[in-house]
């Protein structure tokens, strides 16, 4: 009977043959059945979709792709499975077939992502699918589905179930926590990889090997936990995630670009064939948006992002949970159409003060989206006492950064304006008064 350690991809970690190298000096084993998946049209599409999208406008080396990230996540999944194969409780619950489903799901976890996926999902517009559901059209039929059935003896719906976050049974719930949870294979790769390519240290300085070596099962046996030896590494990972959001993903200039793209898409999306658009690679999608935007306000926004010279909107004001909390609470997690309406009302108020028109798309609001980030909660096992304690109960770092609402501390409310109107808006009067009027008018 095959054991988890006998799975050919796990053995490939030590075989040192048929490898593909990804940054930084990491080798990913490629068996023939893995090679067949990554050579499909659907998977190769990820090589033409950047992992961080608009972040490269601020951090110019951050051009790595979802293809590279997917290989990194797959490698991390192999390391998790190899480690946990030595855990008697894990081996008693999870079969080798279950692990193979997990490995495939890790490799394919981003298959449904389209270019600039997360910023466009955040505004929650009707007709914009969830990317996990969008992946089903690539997974349930076609070359990948055939490869899963014929070479892995896996039914595509097994992978869909794991990726959808609705697994059945203790085994699949455990594997799902390894795929999407506080210390999952996705975060373990993207924090390191995004930090590496952005050229910042924040996501690289937590001890991955120590953390992997401390993996174990929670008390119920249906989720991931860590032993007390991994506590410090977990704390550093929590801090890495906090700083990456604060300094990279929610950097004010990155968010200016994000606000511009979101407003352009909002102005255009009702005219677009979204199913076709989201199947394109990044450059094709930009081209289609620019064609649809011709001679419309969205064209100016897109030109500032993707034209021959960068022209990002400038920050007029910023509000946080701990600074000007009242304004923050009025604007954070509002539905995107409401934010657009409030921005339009602010543009009208400024126009009246100036005696000339400021176009609605020349003032943009950016605020934490309705959907919250997953909070960091994981149990720590203390073998000498044979007991589990939540990490937040034994770590002041995690108690501060994870038990309090993560979004409130890394995501700020910002108001941006077109570079040509920034000084005019500032001359129009106190922004706080104009903003209060806009909020009241919007209701």
Query: How many residues can be counted in the chain?
Result: 443
pLDDT, residue 324, reads 87
Contact present, 249 and 393 (Cβ < 8 Å): no
Contact present, 86 and 217 (Cβ < 8 Å): no
- Listed in order, the ranges of the chain carrying CATH 1.10.3210.10 are 4-250+374-404
pLDDT, residue 403, reads 55
Ordered alpha helix ranges (H), 1-155:
8-15, 32-38, 41-44, 66-84, 88-93, 96-108, 117-122, 131-134, 136-139, 143-152
Q: 425-437: per-residue pLDDT in tens? A: 998 888 999 999 9
Tokens of 217: 């099962």
Contact present, 157 and 101 (Cβ < 8 Å): no
Each residue's pLDDT expressed in tens, for the chain with a length of 443 residues: 579 999 999 999 998 889 999 999 999 999 999 999 999 999 999 999 999 999 999 999 999 999 999 999 999 999 999 999 999 999 999 999 999 999 999 999 999 999 999 999 999 998 888 777 788 888 998 999 999 999 999 999 999 999 987 777 889 999 999 999 889 999 999 999 999 999 999 999 999 999 999 999 999 999 999 999 999 999 999 899 989 999 999 999 999 999 999 999 999 999 999 999 999 999 999 999 999 999 899 999 999 999 999 999 999 999 998 888 999 999 999 999 999 999 999 999 999 999 999 999 999 999 998 877 766 789 999 999 999 999 988 988 787 766 566 777 889 999 999 999 999 999 888 899 999 999 999 98
% of the chain surpassing 90 pLDDT: 82
User: 37-40: which pairs have CB atoms within 8 A and are 24 or more residues apart?
Assistant: 37/104, 37/107, 37/108, 37/144, 37/147, 38/67, 38/71, 38/107, 40/142, 40/143, 40/144, 40/147
Pairwise CA distance, residues 327 & 224, whole Å: 39
Task: Give the torsion sign (CA, 90, 92, 96, 102).
Answer: negative
| Angle made by CA atoms 231, 76, 411, in degrees to the nearest 5 | 65
pTM exceeding 0.75 = yes
Q: 335-364: per-residue pLDDT in tens? A: 999 999 999 999 999 999 999 999 999 999
Residue 373 region by backbone torsions, left for phi larger than 0, else alpha for psi between -120 and 50, else beta: beta
How many other CB atoms are found less than 10 A from the CB of residue 391?
26
DSSP state of 377: -
Q: 268-301: per-residue pLDDT in tens? A: 999 999 999 999 999 999 999 999 999 899 999 9
- Determine the topology of domain 4-250+374-404 in CATH: Hypothetical protein af1432 (1.10.3210)
Residue 132 neighbours by CB under 8 Å, 6+ apart:
112, 163, 164, 165
pLDDT, residue 278, reads 94
Q: Report the Cα 98 to chain-centroid distance in Å.
A: 25
Q: To which residue do tokens 């003896």 refer? A: 153
pLDDT, residue 402, reads 60
């Amino acid at each position: 009977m095959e054991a988890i350690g006998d799975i050919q991809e796990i053995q490939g970690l030590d075989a040192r043959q048929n490898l593909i190298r990804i940054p930084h000096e990491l080798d990913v084993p490629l068996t023939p059945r893995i090679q067949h998946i990554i050579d499909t049209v659907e998977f190769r599409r990820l090589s033409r979709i950047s992992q961080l999208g608009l972040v490269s406008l601020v951090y110019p080396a951050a051009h790595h792709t979802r293809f590279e990230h997917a290989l990194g996540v797959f490698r991390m999944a192999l390391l998790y499975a190899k480690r946990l194969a030595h855990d008697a409780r894990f081996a008693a619950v999870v079969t080798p077939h279950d692990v193979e489903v997990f490995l495939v799901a890790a490799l394919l976890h981003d298959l449904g992502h389209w270019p600039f996926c997360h910023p466009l999902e955040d505004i929650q517009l009707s007709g914009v699918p969830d990317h996990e559901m969008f992946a089903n059209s690539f997974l349930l039929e076609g070359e990948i589905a055939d490869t899963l059935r014929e070479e892995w003896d896996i039914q595509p719906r097994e992978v869909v179930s794991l990726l959808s976050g609705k697994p059945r049974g203790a085994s699949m719930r455990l594997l799902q926590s390894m795929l999407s949870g506080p210390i999952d294979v996705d975060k373990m790769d993207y924090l390191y990889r995004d930090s590496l390519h952005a050229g910042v240290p924040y996501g690289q300085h937590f001890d991955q090997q120590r953390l992997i070596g401390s993996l174990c099962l929670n008390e119920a046996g249906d989720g991931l936990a860590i032993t007390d030896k991994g506590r410090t590494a977990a704390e550093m990972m929590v801090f890495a995630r906090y700083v990456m959001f604060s300094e990279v993903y929610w950097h004010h200039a990155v968010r200016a670009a994000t606000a511009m793209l979101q407003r352009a898409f909002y102005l255009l999306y009702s005219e677009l064939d979204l199913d076709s658009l989201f199947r394109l690679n990044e450059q094709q999608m930009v081209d289609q948006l620019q064609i649809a935007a011709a001679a419309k306000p969205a064209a100016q926004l897109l030109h500032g992002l993707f034209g021959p010279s960068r022209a990002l909107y400038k920050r007029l004001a910023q509000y946080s949970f701990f600074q000007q909390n009242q304004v923050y609470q009025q604007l954070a997690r509002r539905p995107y159409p409401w934010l657009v309406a409030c921005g339009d009302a602010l543009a009208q108020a400024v126009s009246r003060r100036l005696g000339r028109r400021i176009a609605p798309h020349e003032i943009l609001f950016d605020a934490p989206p309705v959907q919250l980030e997953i909070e960091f909660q994981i149990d720590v096992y203390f073998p000498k006492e044979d007991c589990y304690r939540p990490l937040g109960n034994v770590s002041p770092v995690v108690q501060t950064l994870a038990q309090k609402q993560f979004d409130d501390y890394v995501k700020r409310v910002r108001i941006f304006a077109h570079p040509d109107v920034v000084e005019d808006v500032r001359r129009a009067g106190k922004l706080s008064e104009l903003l209060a009027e806009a909020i009241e008018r919007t209701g």
